Amino acid sequence: MQNLPQAPFGKTGHLSTRIIFGAAAFYAMRQDRADRILELLLEYGVNHIDVAASYGEAELRVGGWMPRYRNHFFIATKTGERTAAGAKESIQRSLERLRIDCLDSIQLHNLTDEEGWQTAQGPGGALEGAIEAREKGWVRFIGVTGHGVRAPQMHLRSLERFDFDSVLLPFNYMMVQDTNYAAALEKLLTVCGQRHIAVQTIKAVARRRWQTGDTERHFSWYEPVKDPGVLRRAVQWVLSRPGLFLNTSSDTTLLPLILEAALTAGQGRLGVSDAQMAADAKDQAMEPLFSEGLSDPF
């Protein structure tokens, strides 16, 4: 088994691999193909899976592994419900689909719009449902996720309301070229560092949104970086920030490259400068995935 770098997952007490498997990749995948991915995860020692109720068949595919490998993985899922009743029903359904008795983490999914935030965080909201689920022993920890440029500032608001155990948001070189996003992100990272809140990042290997006329097969909603050297540097640039976790792409054809890049990072060979990233961004015609009012399908 390979030795991927690990770090404490916030204050949960779990030592997670800094590469977290993003099970959105299993949205419509057959179990036999998913099982081949499991072999790769075990080979590299990945011990943390991030899935969601809205990811098609993904919870069922992960659930197929749980009778044998439950103790190997930290299992986090997400609910997009905004009311307490809806969240509790979602959690129960996820437990059944995942074939486990208790979730390691339930995350309030993509909580970045004002109306949804007010409902989920207010009386009778999804947060109350998640807290009740924790009290009942259905979940151990509670997180919050967000996509789009508002994610850092909305997470900061969420952390003022409740002591979440983890946050998730986009982080790559192109995202931090937006100075407003970068400033809010740094504030969030400071708060999370002070309060020992785990920070998961997504879209590390994004190149741009698919363009009109692109004909290659799509395995993710955005076009990922395919060049091995550029991809390696994109992964290592994220991991050069101590303590951050990187959720893998829904394009599993890139998974071996991502794991190898992280393995090299774990051996202390990062050395990726902003100048190198800027050169890669220019060479690959990279574009930010998000702008104000523009999020993603998940």
Greater model confidence, 265 or 80 = 80
pTM over 0.85, yes/no:
yes
Tell me the domain boundaries of the chain: 6-283
Hey, what amino acid is at 170? Answer: P
Q: How confident is the model at residue 223 (pLDDT cuts 50, 70, 90)?
A: confident
Q: Which residue has the tokens 């290659």?
A: 216
pLDDT per residue as tens digits for the range 37-55: 999 999 999 999 999 999 9
The answer, yes or no, to whether residue 253 has pLDDT greater than 90, is yes
DSSP string, 29-96: --HHHHHHHHHHHHHHT--EEE--TTSTTHHHHHHTTHHHHGGG-EEEEEE---BHHHHHHHHHHHHH
57 within 8 A of 29, measured Cβ to Cβ: yes
pLDDT of residue 269: 53
> What tens digit of pLDDT does each residue of 129-166 get?
999 999 999 999 999 999 999 999 999 999 999 999 99
**Residue 298 — pLDDT band, cuts 50, 70, 90?**
very low
Distance CA 245, CA 242 (A): 9
CATH 3.40.50.2300 fits 6-283, yes or no: no
Three-point CA angle 82, 157, 122, nearest 5°:
35
260-295 pLDDT per residue, tens: 999 876 555 567 888 999 999 999 999 998 876 555
